Structure 1
Amino acid sequence: MLKVPDYILPSPEQVVGLIGSKFSYFLAHTASTLTVIAVGFGCGAAAAIPTGLALAKMRWLESALYPFVVFLQTMPLISLVPVLIIWLGYGLAPASVLVGFSVFFPVLVNAVAGVRSTPDRLYFVTRTMGASALQTFRYIDWPTMLPYLTSAFRISLALATTTAVVSEFLASNDGLGYAALIGARSRDTVQVIAVVLITAVVGVLLNTLSLLVEKKIARKYRG
């Protein structure tokens, strides 16, 4: 039977054993990565939702801004790292900005789609009844947009996790990406694969959480 050297492909026992022996080390880096994901995701979504609402309501604004938004989305995020390091230094800030960029476009597109899926007759009824813009958003736009947003959040969480880890390779002194970089520099294959495993577990847990939230919201607005 072909014997693969441990320094190329360590056994599962070695990987799990390392995680257990350095649990506090990996836990601290995982917490740092989750912080980057939370801050970047929150900022990206918070910027995308009102922007999407504005683009959906004002066609002239969409014509003016949408090409610029697409340009930003198609620009490789990694190319922004040197500029962000100069502006913001290392750590949470540049990594969170990159995560925010990765989240912004999917949430924006789904916010626009959600608002535009609202039947025109509902807006006619609200105008007839004298509803304010805030009331229209609360009772018409937001419930219609929310199922679209939850789907976007699930997609964006996967992007946010990947972007957070990659950004930590280059622009951070902690986090799972940084732990993988330290392992690669010291040729510690076990640590690198341990980071990959932990990242996968984090991604699965975040996806499961987003699915539960999505199902709960779907039951609420369908029931």
Structure 2
Amino acid sequence: MKKILLTSWRPAIAIALFICIWEFSTRIFQIETWILPAPTVIVMEMQEVLPAFFPHMVSTIRLVLIGFSIGTTIGIGVATLLHHYDKLRETIYPFLVLSQNIPIIVLAPLLLIWFGLGDTPKIIIIAMTSFFPITVATLSGFQQTDRELIHYMKMMGASKRQLFMKLELPHALPAVFSGIKIAATYSILTGVVAEWLGAQKGIGVFMTLASSSYRTPRVFVAIIITMLLSLSFFALILLLERMFIKWNREEIK
């Protein structure tokens, strides 16, 4: 904790300096608010719209949590399955890679046609975004288990289940949480983008309405809160990582 405090003052000063330059630049060059609002204008706008913005934020968080949970569960499950069956991994893995080359903007209309205008298409998009990094990271973690330890446990008569639960899974947890942290950050952004495609509530809807009416300060409010949500989600996963991987605490720091 002390180390974090000692190293965090540099980025804090850099952010404060950036905000000051931004504020003074908008005033000196008399930049119109609808083009680039000053930070003070954004703060005042945030105070004004926060009560109306709160339901949109809750809607986005709900979708993200559902989609992220589904993507995480399926990702870890698929990685475990591919780890135990080599031929299945050789067959399926290329399709996993190809699935990430399909742009969301192309896939989204198809999901809207197949599943309608409800929450289902958005949850699927978020789950797909979370699924790939978690699957790849988990599979990589399983494969990086020390071969000598595996050989030793086999010599001791350990079954495949014991080998997996006692050795491979614990050693893969750091890699698993690395994938989860990446997916957690992407899931918030994906949730907002998915709401652009059609929704009644959500940060994406709020942002679309604000940009279409040239209320740029409100767009910045949505951007800032989205960033804060992503950082908060990342911090939550980091906290869970510290709880579950106490034996690896020094590496996590």
Give TM-score scaled by structure 1 length. Answer: 0.91
Corresponding residue for residue 194 of structure 2 = 167
2:204 is the alignment partner of 1:204: no
State how far apart, in whole Å, the 1-side matches of 2:120 and 2:247 are: 36
CA contact (8 A) 2:242 2:249 kept: no
State how far apart, in whole Å, the 2-side matches of 1:53 and 1:171 are: 35
Q: 1:188 to 1:116 in 2, by over 3 A?
A: same
Corresponding residue for residue 180 of structure 1 = 207
Corresponding residue for residue 99 of structure 2 = 72
Paired letter, 1:172: A
Instruction: Give the alignment partner of residue 116 of structure 1, picking from 137, 143, 148.
Output: 143
CA contact (8 A) 1:90 1:173 kept: no
- Secondary structure (helix, strand or coil) at the match of 1:30 reads helix
State how far apart, in whole Å, the 2-side matches of 1:109 and 1:81 are: 23
Identity, % of aligned positions: 29
How far is 1:82 from its partner?
0.6
CA contact (8 A) 1:147 1:217 kept: no
State how far apart, in whole Å, the 2-side matches of 1:119 and 1:11 are: 54
State how far apart, in whole Å, the 2-side matches of 1:16 and 1:222 are: 38
Instruction: Give the alignment partner of residue 89 of structure 1, picking from 104, 116, 119.
Output: 116
- Secondary structure (helix, strand or coil) at the match of 1:4 reads coil
CA contact (8 A) 1:41 1:103 kept: yes
Structure 1 unmatched runs, 5+? none
Paired letter, 1:89: G
Corresponding residue for residue 61 of structure 2 = 34
State how far apart, in whole Å, the 2-side matches of 1:211 and 1:134 are: 28
How far is 1:80 from its partner?
0.9
- Secondary structure (helix, strand or coil) at the match of 2:197 reads helix
Structure 2 unmatched runs, 5+? 1-27
Q: 1:18 to 1:91 in 2, by over 3 A?
A: farther
CA contact (8 A) 1:150 1:210 kept: yes
Q: CA RMSD in A?
A: 2.0
State how far apart, in whole Å, the 2-side matches of 1:128 and 1:25 are: 64
Q: 1:219 to 1:99 in 2, by over 3 A?
A: same
Q: 1:222 to 1:198 in 2, by over 3 A?
A: closer
State how far apart, in whole Å, the 1-side matches of 2:55 and 2:216 are: 20
2:216 is the alignment partner of 1:189: yes
